[in-house]
A and B are shown apart, each in its own frame.
Chain A
Amino acid sequence: MKQILKIEHIEKYYGNKGNITKAIDDISFEVQNGEFIAIMGASGSGKTTLLNCISTIDTVSAGHIFLDNADITEIMEKELARFRRENLGFIFQDFNLLDTLTISENIAMALTINKVPVEEIDPRVKKMAEKLDIVPILDKFPYQVSGGQKQRCACARAMINSPKLILADEPTGALDSHSAQMLLTTIQTMNQEFDATILMVTHDAFTASYAKRILFLKDGHIFTEIIRGEQSRKQLFGKILDVMTLLGGDLSDVR
């Protein structure tokens, strides 16, 4: 399998000389093409910082990040926007859809930014909408559809450019449990059927249980890793809960 993302000893500090906070403390891991990886951890464990660094919204203090063998920590500021739109797809907790555009226009927007030939745009939007089951709402505005539908639209937008990596930040955070379950199924389909590489940040065990591999962060470094392998989702869920209990602290912490 081809390696798509390689993170090498990255560190990220905040603050100044006398008072340094290490948000990421020497993290290294690799992601293969077609993987669905979840990053879990409590608040302040560094998972959002990690995601921001990978998505080039933030810069690292030390270390390297390679996406498809290109070192994204070395890309010039000016090139970053182009790099982002060509290689990455985003799914956010609060959807980040444009309220002035219809669902189909929101999806098309991602294509026009990448200067895709005009005649390809409508067919591609239609095809993607069919896959994600949002054809009936294509001409509606975001305020006219449900949260789950909005997030599926966001998925379609993230997917439509066939990016090398899809970054999802708490995608189920603003959804009720039913919608969350439907969305996760969608993401799973995206991963399995279209071979999309997905990196998802979450603190919810149920959400994480849909992934193939789960990294646990604690205080800026990798605490442990679970690989689903042949286990069922239920078994994986159990394991995640076990790790989370451990993460919460051992007996010595509650002395």
Chain B
Amino acid sequence: MYGKLILRNAKRSIKDYLIYIITLTLCVTMFYSFLSISSNYYHPSIGVQYNLNILSDAMKAAICAITFLLLFLIKYVNNYMIRRKQKEFAIQTVMGMEQKTTATLFFLETLIMGLVALGMGIILGTFCSQFITAMLLSAYGQPFQLSWMLYPDTVLLTIMFFTISFVLIGLFNIRTIRKIKVIDMLNADKKNEPHFKKSKWMPIITVLFSIFLIIMLVTGISKMYYYFDTRLPFSVHLMFWGNILIPAFTLVGILAWIFLHKKFGFSKLVIFLLIMALAATASSASVPVLQMKYYLALGTGTNNSYMIFLLVGLVFIICAVFYLASNVITSMKEKSLQKKYYEENLFFFGQIISKLKTTTKTMTLICLTLVLSISMFLIEPALNGWVSGYLDTRSVFDVQVLSQYNKAFDIKELPNTNYDFVTEYLAENNIQIIDDCSFSLYLPMAEDFHQRIKWSFPVLAISLSDYNHLLDMRGLDTITLDENEFTTQWQSIATEEERNEFIESHSTVRTDAGILEMASENASDAALGEYLYNNYTDVVYVFPDEICKQLLSVNRNRAIKTAEPLPYDVAIGLQQEFERKFPEQPEGVNYYIRTSTQQINSTTASNFVMQASMTYGAVVLLIMCFTILALQQLLDATHYKYRFGVLRKLGVDETHINRLVLKQLGVWFGLPIGIAVLASTVFGGYFFNMFSSQISAYIGAEILAVQILLIAGILLILLTCYFVSTWILFNRTIRKE
């Protein structure tokens, strides 16, 4: 009998469960498709030099951490279902069913829905995992191949994870339902009319913001005290003073308000703070920009703390905007009678204002989460492209060996080795060497050996023949130099201006073997790896061989090109062997070995984990926001049913009611999403602007644009999904008899 009741209930209320099923299905899909990569049965064709084990453990950890957010969401959706079904529970209980049985029935009903969602989610997940595989293969630089497969261990893990969470939450629900009084259940939809009072949330935020202002003021003053210099450019002056005067003025304003609060309402204070927060955010944002532009010395961590100030400012701005939104709409309504009394606008304004007033906190949190999610989406391709672009410029040779002299203080310690054991090790492992170049890096002036100040580190030099050998190994054209001529080789990260500035001021260079003139071909940025350059410099001189013979050799490097890539375990073995021979020392010359296999493996794996978990996290956050937005509207459905009923009785057409519903849902979804998109555009623009040189060097604007379009696509699809289902459910509720 009960079995029949459950099945029939489930079938009948499948539309009521629409949101529940959609949310759960999306959760399962995401979980399954991302987890499938860590499956033991997952063997995409990515080549011998890769090892996926590093990846799968990190992936599992990342996914599980993010999935805890999902549990919270499932609980929230369950609460909504309980509220929706209370009347039904009441009738069953009044009829004599024990409350325990009612609760169990509900539990089984949700379990059925959950299992349906689980099944659909896994099916959808196998589709979606193709995208993840595509992402993985492109991360490892392999062509995409379709591989249809159900991974038994992932399926099992997914089923276990979700069944356990359904059961846990279900048991919790049983407890909740058993505790509700029958009379409260019966009257669930006859709640007292809500009080449209503003919440206490904003005053608390204001107090926190004041504390933040004090911190900002103190930081500003201490930076001014330690680092200010009158010779700095005007914009930097402005930055220093702005970071002191803006928080100071704002604090004075708050103090003044405390004395005058009877005259000026709290909203006036929030408006003032909003304007000041905009100013404070702009002035915090200028710090990293100016620091990078003028290489300002501001002490360690300054950029980071001002980035945090920037974020706090943004958060406060969003809070204030939401707090003021209802005021703005109210004043908009009051200002124009034409608007106020146009058709059913009165009703529409009433709906929006009352909802905004009672849910400022939720809306603000949703908006902030959306900003976080969109920013993650935006930054993710940039970081990812950055890392993999960096990898390309770094792992240019199969094996690179290098030494660094900057912890050595005696010229006698300087190395003169060809690292022959590397050759032996490779031969033992049947790795064929195609090309090999051992070379020295020289100091133009031997006296600079002791020059160890960060910003005046000497630029090193390489001999022409070694340089040409390296170019040849990379398959690039070689160069020629006349006697007493030199040229420069640049790291790709150096900007055009830096290069020009350097070339202009270094038309000649003084060496221990005489003065050299700059050649007409004065600069190259061939990709020769990052180990050619001295610390804190982006450039190396290329001198004729005759000159170099007379100079002090400080670093001894070697680049090897092998017939095929080193297998993963050979690379690890080589590294261990090398570390045994040349252990890292606190003083003296240090030696390092870099194999491209290892570099690619660790970078690609960590890069992929970062990319995948950021995408996963961002989508999960998006789903959470949209679900909560949708449920916010549906939770108050009984109120809405009553209100729209009154409209109908007053003689409003159905077409007008439909339009009102669409308008209301449009504002409800549009407001937080609009503000979030705006805020993340500002943030993203700032981010891209600040790192524009790295982005153009490692990623390229086109790829970035494609990524951003992709994000917009995902956002739009999810939004449409949720908007339409909310709309359907909303119409159902307000029309239900």
Contact = CB atoms under 8 A, between A and B. Distances in A.
Indicate, yes or no, whether A interacts with B.
yes
Interface of A: 57, 78, 81-86, 88, 90, 92, 96-101, 105, 108-113, 115-116, 118-119, 121-122, 141-143, 157
B611 to A, nearest CB: 46
A80 to B, nearest CB: 8
A99 B193 contact: yes
Contacts of A84: 649-651
Interface in B342-358: 342-347, 350-351, 353-354
Contact of A113 (B351, B651, B654): B651
A66 B648 CA distance: 22
Contact of B646 (A81, A97, A112, A115): A97
A108 B342 CA distance: 11
Given A108-B346, A143-B195, A100 B353 contact: yes
B724 interface: no
A86 B651 CA distance: 8
Interface string B618-642: 0000000000000000000001000
A121 B345 CA distance: 14
A136 B354 CA distance: 22
19 contacts: A57-B649, A81-B653, A90-B649, A92-B649, A96-B646, A98-B643, A98-B646, A99-B193, A99-B643, A100-B353, A109-B346, A109-B347, A109-B650, A112-B346, A113-B650, A116-B341, A118-B337, A118-B340, A142-B193
A81 B196 contact: no
A111 B353 CA distance: 21
B192 interface: yes
Contacts of A99: 193-194, 354, 639, 643
B338 interface: yes
A229 to B, nearest CB: 34
Contacts of B343: 112-113, 115
B344 A113 contact: yes
Contacts of B345: 112
Contact of A85 (B340, B646, B651): B651
A99 B196 CA distance: 9
Interface of B: 192-196, 337-338, 340-347, 350-351, 353-354, 639, 643, 645-646, 648-654
A112 B353 contact: no
Given A78-B653, A99-B194, 15 more contacts: A96-B646, A98-B643, A98-B646, A99-B639, A101-B346, A112-B343, A112-B344, A113-B650, A113-B651, A116-B341, A118-B337, A118-B340, A122-B337, A141-B196, A142-B193
B342 A112 contact: yes
Contacts of A85: 650-652
A231 to B, nearest CB: 35
A90 B649 CA distance: 8
A113 B652 contact: yes
Secondary structure of the A contact surface, majority rule: helix
A141 B645 CA distance: 19
Secondary structure of the B contact surface, majority rule: helix
Nearest to A77: B654
B342 to A, nearest CB: 7
B653 A118 contact: no
Nearest to B190: A94
**Which of B346, B347, B643: most chain A CB closer than 10 A?**
B346
Nearest to B351: A100
B646 A143 contact: no
A92 B343 CA distance: 23
Nearest to B654: A81
B337 A121 contact: yes
A175 B346 CA distance: 28
Closest 5 pairs between A and B when the two form their complex, measured CB to CB: A85-B651, A100-B350, A84-B651, A100-B354, A99-B193
A165 to B, nearest CB: 13
Contacts of A109: 344, 346-347, 650
Contacts of B346: 101, 105, 108-109, 112
Given A100-B353, A101-B346, A141-B196, A111 B650 contact: no
B666 to A, nearest CB: 18
Nearest to A94: B642
A86 B650 CA distance: 10
A118 B193 CA distance: 29
Contact of B651 (A81, A98, A105, A143): A81
Contacts of A98: 347, 350, 643, 646
B629 to A, nearest CB: 19
Given A81-B653, A82-B653, A142-B193, A111 B350 contact: no
Contacts of B353: 100
A21 B730 CA distance: 34
A78 B651 CA distance: 11
Given A112-B342, A118-B337, A143-B195, A101 B653 contact: no
A115 B653 CA distance: 13
B90 to A, nearest CB: 20
Contacts of A86: 651
Given A98-B350, A143-B195, A81 B652 contact: yes
Nearest to A143: B193
A50 B266 CA distance: 53
B650 A110 contact: yes
Contacts of B193: 99, 142-143
Nearest to A89: B650
A105 B344 CA distance: 11
**Which of A96, A98, A100, A112: most chain B CB closer than 10 A?**
A100
A78 B655 CA distance: 10
A88 B649 CA distance: 10
A101 B651 contact: no
B347 to A, nearest CB: 6
A143 B195 CA distance: 7
